[in-house]
């Protein structure tokens, strides 16, 4: 089932590419609305975007660039959504960054990997769009006016070729969203851009069978806004844990699983679209991805919301070991498979699982690791003996694991778990280690575009 399968970081890109889909539509002029406190745009080419994550920001910029006026509403006090948290990178095939690193890739190879991961639940048209346009999407982000640094490329789970892009600074999600937010400057837009924060959209207004605007709540006041077109970019529902929420409805088995999502991800857009007089079709609602590596914070181990241990940690050579100090799976496997293996370890009483990173990996992800260590989520050990001591093991237990992994990396032996992609680092028992305890977390919901909240001529 796709629900536990790696979806190759599709979400960022799908959200982003949805903009393209939306913008294929021809937007009609603004309509008026006689509701109290309704705001009208004087412009006849205006679009309301609900949600200020990467999808909404991309939509807003694209619409603005094509001459439309844009009102961007977000229920949070600041923009960014879960997009700001994206910590490993964005996938693209056939990019200049790959070429600069000598990586040969193609959209066909990306599509093949994605199809293999999705299995019987693959949606070929969506995958074709995602993979064929991935290089252009990354170029859009990395070229002016956004200039996002996406020059580093790593291979993450499920990919046959390194194609996950990030920059040299901190989290790529922050780099992308902050660049798009900065460039969305109402002061320089002749009144054609408005950003309204703290505005929770609660209703899509319909007129003559078409969506003609939205109603939203802001500081306890109900307001409405009339527009030509409405773009839903409200993210997923990976934090909708209420007893009447979408997780309870579609994935009750996950209600006790912690989440790495921001609290805003409560499926508002899904509900809004489904509440229309001609309700939107919701697909694959049970396809919720569980990410194997959420940090267990020693200061609050039971916390339901956890920081995500970026997949890039495993992509940079991180090993997963059980309480006996033994590896139990291919760290570069798909997320669903790694999660299932971790669950078996827990059931066998061999938890908690630890993620162990060597100095080279820690250096490659320095900004990430400094953040994790600063938050108390990862601990520095001077050497393997220090870790063995903490785990109540003999040094030989751990060194055996590390030496065996080194021999798999060198090709002297075959990894019993089928690992074939190795980071360029061998474990040295005298070298320092960064270590964290981890547990699976509800990560994100497959964002299937619900349907166009398109407008007919009015
Ligand atoms: C911790 C973490 C790490 C991740 N790392 C990666 C990664 O490395 N690479 C990758 O590709 N993907 C990653 N993902 C997934 C990716 O971040 C998301 O899939 C993506 O950000 C979704 O973008 P979005 O714009 O659709 O939604 P979001 O970024 O979540 O934005 C939705 C916005 O809509 C607003 N909103 C919601 N409801 C309403 C309403 N009723 N009215 C007004 N506003 C509303 C929210 O406040 C929010 O700002 C990660 C996710 C998490 C949680």
Gap between the Cα atoms of 292 and 284, Å rounded:
21
Does residue 53 line the site of ligand 1, with CB under 6 A? yes
Residue 390 phi, psi dihedral angles, 5° rounding:
-65, -35
Q: Which pLDDT score is estimated for 16?
A: 41
- Averaged pLDDT of the chain: 88
Helix (H, G, I), strand (E, B) or coil at 89: coil
Q: How far is the CA of 208 from the centre of ligand 1 (A)?
A: 32
Does residue 214 line the site of ligand 1, with CB under 6 A? no
Total count of residues recorded for the chain: 458
Q: How far is the CA of 137 from the centre of ligand 1 (A)?
A: 17
Which has more confidence, 4 or 278? 278
Average pLDDT over residues 353-374: 96
Nearest to 43 by CA among 225, 217, 202, 211: 225
Q: How far is the CA of 82 from the centre of ligand 1 (A)?
A: 3
Q: Which pLDDT score is estimated for 153?
A: 96
- Is pLDDT above 60 for 453? no
Distance spanning both ends of the chain, measured CA to CA: 43
Per residue in 129-157, is it b (16+ CB within 10 Å) or e — as a string? bbbbbbbebbebbbeeebebbbebbbbbb
Nearest to 317 by CA among 405, 391, 412, 415: 405
Average pLDDT over residues 200-207: 96
* 1.10.260.30, 3.40.50.300, 1.20.1050.10, 3.50.50.60: CATH of 2-232: 3.50.50.60
pTM: 0.88
Q: Which pLDDT score is estimated for 44?
A: 56
Portions of the chain given CATH number 3.90.700.10: 291-443
Does residue 54 line the site of ligand 1, with CB under 6 A? yes
Q: How far is the CA of 260 from the centre of ligand 1 (A)?
A: 11
Does residue 272 line the site of ligand 1, with CB under 6 A? no
Does residue 315 line the site of ligand 1, with CB under 6 A? no
- Is pLDDT above 90 for 386? yes
- Is pLDDT above 70 for 24? no
CB 53 within 8 A of CB 81: yes
Query: Whose alpha carbon is nearest atom 6 of ligand 1?
Result: 86
Which of the listed residues 11, 164, 310 should we mutate to test ligand 1's pocket, taking the one with most ligand atoms within 8 A of CB? Answer: 11
Gap between the Cα atoms of 13 and 173, Å rounded:
12
Helix axes 10-22, 134-142, angle to 10 degrees: 90
pLDDT grade, residue 388 (50/70/90)? very high
* 399-408 CB contacts, 8 Å cutoff, 24+ apart: 399/429, 400/325, 401/319, 401/321, 401/325, 401/326, 401/327, 402/319, 402/427, 402/429, 403/427, 404/327, 405/319, 405/327
Helix (H, G, I), strand (E, B) or coil at 273: helix
Query: Whose alpha carbon is nearest atom 4 of ligand 1?
Result: 86
Q: How far is the CA of 61 from the centre of ligand 1 (A)?
A: 17
Q: Residue 207, Cβ neighbours under 10 Å: how many?
A: 15
Does residue 52 line the site of ligand 1, with CB under 6 A? yes
Query: Any idea which residues carry the catalytic annotation?
Result: 291, 314
Residue entry with tokens 């060194």:
399
DSSP string computed for 118-138: HGGG--HHHHHHHHHTHHHHH
At 327-355, the pLDDT tens digits run: 999 999 999 999 999 999 999 999 999 99
Nearest to 212 by CA among 203, 202, 221, 220: 203
Q: How far is the CA of 437 from the centre of ligand 1 (A)?
A: 25
Does residue 73 line the site of ligand 1, with CB under 6 A? yes
Helix axes 107-118, 124-132, angle to 10 degrees: 150
Which of the listed residues 21, 86, 240 should we mutate to test ligand 1's pocket, taking the one with most ligand atoms within 8 A of CB? Answer: 86
Residue entry with tokens 């820690």:
362
- Is pLDDT above 70 for 218? yes
Atom in ligand 1 nearest the alpha carbon of residue 13: 11
Does residue 368 line the site of ligand 1, with CB under 6 A? no
Portions of the chain given CATH number 3.50.50.60: 2-232
- Is pLDDT above 50 for 18? no
- Is pLDDT above 50 for 26? no
The CA distances from residue 23 to 61, 225, 449, in Å, are 11, 20, 14
Q: Which pLDDT score is estimated for 452?
A: 40
Assigned CATH class of 291-443: alpha beta
Opening angle at CA 78, ends 72 and 82, nearest 5:
90
């Amino acid at each position: 089932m796709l629900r536990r399968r790696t979806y190759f970081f599709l979400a960022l890109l799908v959200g982003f590419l949805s903009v393209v889909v939306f913008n294929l539509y021809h937007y009609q002029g603004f309509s008026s609305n006689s509701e109290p406190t309704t705001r009208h745009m004087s412009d006849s080419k205006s679009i309301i975007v609900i949600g200020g994550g990467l999808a909404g920001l991309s939509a807003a910029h694209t619409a603005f660039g094509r001459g439309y006026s844009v009102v961007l509403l977000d229920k949070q006090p600041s923009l960014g959504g879960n997009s700001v948290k994206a910590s490993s990178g964005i996938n693209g095939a056939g990019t200049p960054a790959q070429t600069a690193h000598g990586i040969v890739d193609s959209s066909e190879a990306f599509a093949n990997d994605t199809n293999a991961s999705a299995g019987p639940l693959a949606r070929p048209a969506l995958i074709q769009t995602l993979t064929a346009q991935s290089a252009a999407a990354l170029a859009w982000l990395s070229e002016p006016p956004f200039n996002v640094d996406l020059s580093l490329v790593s291979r993450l789970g499920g990919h046959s070729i390194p194609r996950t892009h990030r920059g040299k600074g901190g989290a790529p999600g922050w780099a992308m969203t902050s660049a798009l937010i900065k460039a969305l400057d109402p002061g320089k837009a002749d009144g054609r851009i408005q950003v309204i924060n703290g505005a929770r959209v609660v209703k899509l207004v319909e007129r003559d069978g078409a969506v003609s605007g939205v109603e939203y709540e802001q500081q306890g006041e109900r307001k409405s806004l009339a527009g030509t077109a409405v773009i839903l970019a409200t993210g997923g529902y990976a934090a909708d844990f209420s007893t009447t929420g979408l997780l309870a409805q579609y994935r009750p088995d996950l209600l006790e699983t912690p989440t790495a999502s921001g609290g805003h991800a409560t499926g508002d857009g899904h509900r809004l679209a489904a509440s229309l007089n001609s309700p939107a079709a919701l697909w694959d609602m049970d396809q919720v991805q569980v990410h194997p590596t959420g940090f267990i914070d020693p200061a609050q181990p039971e916390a339901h919301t956890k920081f995500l241990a970026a997949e890039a940690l495993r992509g940079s050579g991180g090993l997963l070991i059980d309480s006996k100090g033994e590896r139990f799976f291919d760290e570069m496997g798909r997320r669903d498979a790694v999660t299932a293996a971790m669950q078996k370890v827990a059931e066998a009483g061999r938890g908690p699982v630890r993620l162990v990173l060597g100095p080279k990996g820690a250096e490659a992800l320095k900004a990430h690791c400094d953040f994790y260590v600063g938050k108390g989520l990862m601990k520095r050990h001077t050497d393997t003996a220090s870790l063995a001591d903490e785990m109540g093991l003999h040094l030989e237990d751990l060194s055996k694991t590390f030496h065996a992994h080194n021999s798999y990396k060198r090709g002297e032996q075959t990894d019993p778990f089928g690992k074939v992609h190795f980071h360029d680092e061998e474990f040295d028992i005298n070298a320092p280690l960064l270590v964290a305890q981890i547990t699976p977390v509800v990560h994100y919901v497959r964002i299937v575009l619900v349907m166009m909240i398109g407008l007919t001529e009015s």
